[in-house]
Amino acid sequence: MAHDLVRIECPHRSNPDGTIDSICPRCYTTIGTSTWEYELERLEAEHVCNTIELKFFETLKKKPVASARPAYAVQPGMAQMRG
């Protein structure tokens, strides 16, 4: 454990030919394909996210519909409660 403090969990996908793909959950890149899970773990540890693709996916997440809406300001007169 030298620099690998933050471990991301990468989903594995089994292929019909018996190999396993490791997919990065952040940049959706296939990190590696192997029949050996230990090999995939090694590749995952070495994986560096493709920042260009990462930015592409982040722009997709930004929905133009969700426009910035002002938070409702609590008016002092309305917030008073009778008691």
Q: Which residues bind Zn ion (CB under 5 A)?
A: 24, 26-27, 49
Q: Specify the residue, 27 or 40, whose C-beta has the smaller distance to Zn ion.
A: 27
Smallest gap from Cβ 46 to Zn ion, in A, equals 11
Both tokens of 4, joined, read 């690998």
Smallest gap from Cβ 49 to Zn ion, in A, equals 3
Phi and psi based region of residue 18 (left: phi greater than 0; alpha: psi -120 to 50; beta: remaining): left
Q: How far apart are CA 12 and CA 20, in angstroms?
A: 6
Smallest gap from Cβ 11 to Zn ion, in A, equals 12
